[in-house]
Amino acid sequence: MTHLLNIENLHVAIQGEEILKGLNLKIKAGEVHAIMGPNGAGKSTLASTLAGRESFEVLEGTVRYQDEDLLALDAHERAAKGIFLGFQYPTEIPGVSNLNFLRTALNAQRRQRGEAEMDGGTFMKLAREKAQNLGISIEMLKRFVNVGFSGGEKKRNEMMQMAVLNPTLAILDETDSGLDIDALKVVSDGINALRSADKAILLITHYQRLLDYVTPDHVHVLADGKIVRSGGPELAHELEEKGYQAVA
Amino acid sequence: MTQHSESPSDVAAFHAAYDHLKPALPGAGWLRELRHVAMTRFLSLGLPGRRAEQWRYADLGPLRKGSFSPVTLAQETEQARIDAAAVPGLDAPRLVFINGRFQRALSRMEGLPADLAPQSLREVLITGGGSLRDLITDLRDGDAFDQLNTAMMSEGVVIDVPKGLKVETPVEIVYLVDDADDRAAHLRVVVRLGEGASLKLIESFKGDDSRFFTNLITQTTIADDAHLTLIRRQNEGAETVHISRIYATLGRGALAVHHLATGGQSARHELRADFTTEGGDVRYQGIQLARPHQTLDTLTFLDHAVPNCTSDQAYRGVLAAQAVASFQGKVLVRRDAQKTDAKQKSDSLLLDRSATSNAKPELEIYADDVQCAHGSTVGELSTDQLFYLMARGLSPLEAKAMLVEAFIAALCDGVPDEAARNAFIETARGWLQNLDIHDLALKEAS
């Protein structure tokens, strides 16, 4: 079976400094992978690079997604092909309501895929349903994107976007950080709801606690720009017990 | 031409046009004399140069090069073009000007209260007697464009809202330029609100690519407890020079101006408000969207001469590559104007570093018990916001358009009429759609 995502020997620099130094990773549809690692290992660099942020310069290596050269695509094209980045620090956008943002994004993706745009009524129905599952009020959907949201609300809002956009590969960059236990539960439910045979999830996390709620198929340790160890869910526990230093 | 050799070359063409038109200009007696004096002043003043502080950021180049004669013939214009220039979906009485000429047949007065009867300025100038002196401000101390306007004004409209009349329906004025190369419109609009009266005036300026010169003065007097709302959408053609001025004199009344400017090769928008009675209030919300190689310029001057008046100004400018957009906002608080509350804020967004934004807040305060605040920012689109939107599927152009719209959203939302508000938003979207990605060039720093 071919891989949904296949990263080979990826080297990435930001502002001239090499952060990823030959990273390899293969993800099949249906799988949940967790990448763990200490601060500065390159976790967020990997996430941003996969999502297509221009300031991250790929020096070497290949990334194939659905058997296509992912690096040749712009960020919005990647989104339309089903890649979703859950931001570690979701950006505030004053003047744009959540609902307008979501609908514009969804229809921008649909247009790129040659699908008809979703009309207002159908969209509202979808948004309401997803919001309800995540405990997000209509009031919150009418507010400006992430403006004045608490840390937990921002992360929940990322899950809301993920639920509406329904991606094939979700890359969640420390979506669990800064969450209290209730918010963590909501976010985990959102992630678990996306799990299916034709989708994959890449969890990037610093702590093991999210993995108590979302059980990964594979766990990788990222250190100094490379995957230094891979294993099953038990690796996460080992990391928690012994620390990165000992495991990596 | 030799007879005009005493005039500076940049005003000679206007002088020639005046001489040619003089016999046909409406009005007699003292008005004729007033025109003559104004023309003489205009010729001695000449067009303002860049050294004049108030004209530092303006571009009068096209006026110096061109020769603009007032229109004498009516243009046959299709109704569809007028409708396209008007505010979509606004069901309101409408006055129509084409190339600066009032078109009674194309205007519609149905829906106006019985005691509100807008009059053609031209007809008033011809038939009006002694009351004309009250109507026409002579602008004796004004600059060259005031003088030119006084000398040449031949068209416009007079709206008198009697004491106590609150006009429920908005009134629309459409100024359309259609196939009028090298022509000019020197317009004077007079709006007078009696005590307790209220009126909402919605104006749309639209034009084709004629080399045209619009020179409009709107004079308004707002009596105690009266309220004038002026919503103006300036979207003239790309070869037009636009100069428009609002001169307001307030009693204990209120003026709200909502302004969107995108049009013209070079356009200048002015608001001057004089407070004459305690309790006056002025709200100004202005947006300028400048496309490449265009010069847009706004100048406001609020004269707090008496105590206890309030003013609040908010300006937002968006500039594409190679554009110039400026805001000069002056607030004068005279010695007696205690308890003045005056706020001013200007924010500009550069879509490309080749654009030039000028912001000059000017607070001149002689009273000691006042609240005055001003702020000014110039910024670029945030690369974090752009990436966030693109990571959700918006193309770079769509993402930028969404952020620009968000930047001016608060000022659009403030427009107190739904149809006009939507027209502001649609005009802004049209402006964005006419830009290509190069005009919006913004590379992420790497």
A79 contacts B388? CB cut-off 8 A:
no
Encoding tokens for residue A235? 């690796």
Question: Lowest mean pLDDT: which of B44-53, B207-216, B335-344, B393-402?
Answer: B44-53
Give the domain extent around A121.
5-247
Residues B193 and A27: their CA atoms lie apart, in Å, by 73
Q: Is A19 on the interface with B (CB under 8 A)?
A: no
Confidence of residue B444 (pLDDT cuts 50, 70, 90): very low
Task: Tell me how far apart the alpha carbons of residues A84 and A75 are, in angstroms, rounded to a whole number.
Answer: 10
Task: Estimate to the nearest angstrom the gap between the alpha carbon of B399 and the chain centroid.
Answer: 30
**pLDDT of residue B264 exceeding 90:** yes
| pLDDT over threshold 90, residue B102 | yes
- A146, A120, A141, A121: which is closest to A130 by C-alpha? A141
Which residues in chain A (80-119) have CB-CB distances under 8 A to chain B?
Answer: 80, 84-85, 87, 90-91, 93-96, 101, 104-106, 108-109, 112
Span of A163-177, B120-134, B311-325, B326-340 with lowest mean pLDDT: B120-134
Q: What is the pLDDT of residue B4?
A: 42
What residues have CB less than 8 Å from A189, skipping those under 6 apart?
Answer: A133, A134
Helices (H), chain A: 43-51, 75-80, 98-112, 120-133, 138-142, 151-165, 181-194, 234-247
Whether residue A72 has pLDDT greater than 70: yes
Structurally, chain A folds into a number of domains equal to 1
DSSP state of B108: B
Q: Are B256 and B283 in contact (CB under 8 A)?
A: yes
> Among partner residues A95, A104, A109, which is closest to B409 by beta-carbon distance?
A95
- Give the position of tokens 């921002």: A154
Q: Which of A79, A89, A83 is nearest to A7 (CA)?
A: A83
Instruction: Give me the total of CB pairs closer than 8 Å, taking one residue from chain A and one from chain B.
Output: 85
pLDDT, tens digit, for every residue of A103-154? 999 999 999 999 999 999 999 999 999 999 888 999 999 999 999 999 889 9
pLDDT, one tens digit per residue, over A140-162 is 999 999 999 998 899 999 999 99
Determine the pLDDT at residue B2.
40
Task: Give the model's confidence band at B245: pLDDT under 50 very low, under 70 low, under 90 confident, else very high.
Answer: very high
What percent of chain B shows pLDDT beyond 90?
Answer: 81
For B114, list phi and psi in degrees, rounded to 5.
-60, -35
d(CA A214, CA A188): 6
Assign residue A182 the CATH number of its domain. Answer: 3.40.50.300
Q: What is the pLDDT of residues A187-243, one digit of tens each?
A: 899 899 999 999 999 999 988 889 999 999 999 999 999 999 999 999 988 888 888
What's the pLDDT band for B446 if we cut at 50, 70, 90?
very low
Quote the pLDDT of residue A186.
Answer: 86
The separation between CA B58 and the C-alpha centre of its own chain, rounded to angstroms, equals: 14
Closest CA–CA distance from residue A57 to any residue of chain B (Å): 8
CA dihedral (B19, B22, B24, B25) positive or negative: positive
Phi-psi label, residue A27: left if phi above 0, alpha if psi -120 to 50, beta otherwise: beta
Instruction: Give tens-digit pLDDT for B276-322.
Output: 999 999 999 999 999 999 999 999 999 999 999 999 999 999 999 99
Q: What is the mean pLDDT of chain A?
A: 94
Q: Which of A103-107, A231-235, B242-246, B248-252 has the lowest mean pLDDT?
A: A231-235
Sheet hosting strand A68-69, strand order edge to edge: A17-27, A5-14, A56-65, A68-69
What's the DSSP call for residue B443? Answer: P
What tens digit of pLDDT does each residue of B321-350 get?
999 999 999 999 999 999 999 999 999 999
Lowest mean pLDDT among B132-146, B193-207, B216-230: B132-146
Q: Is the pLDDT of residue B438 over 70?
A: no
The tokens for A179 are 């969450």
pLDDT of residue B130: 65
What is d(CA B32, CA B21) in angstroms, rounded to the nearest whole number?
12
Give the length of chain A.
248
Give me the torsion for CA of B342, B348, B354, B356, rounded to 10°.
-20
Q: How far apart are the first and last CA of chain A?
A: 30
* Residues in Cβ contact with B111 at an 8 Å cutoff, skipping those fewer than 6 apart: B91, B92, B93, B169
SS3 readout for A10-63:
EEEEECCEEEEEEEEEEECCCCEEEEECCCCCCHHHHHHHHHCCCCEEEEEEEE
Q: Does A165 touch chain B (CB under 8 A)?
A: yes
- Say which of A52, A95, A165 has its CB closest to residue B407: A95
SS3 of B22, please?
helix
pLDDT of B202 over the 80 cut: yes
Q: Of all residues in chain B, what percent carry a pLDDT higher than 70?
A: 94
pLDDT surpassing 70 at residue B7 = no
Q: What is the ipTM of this complex?
A: 0.97
> Coil, strand or helix: which one is B193?
strand
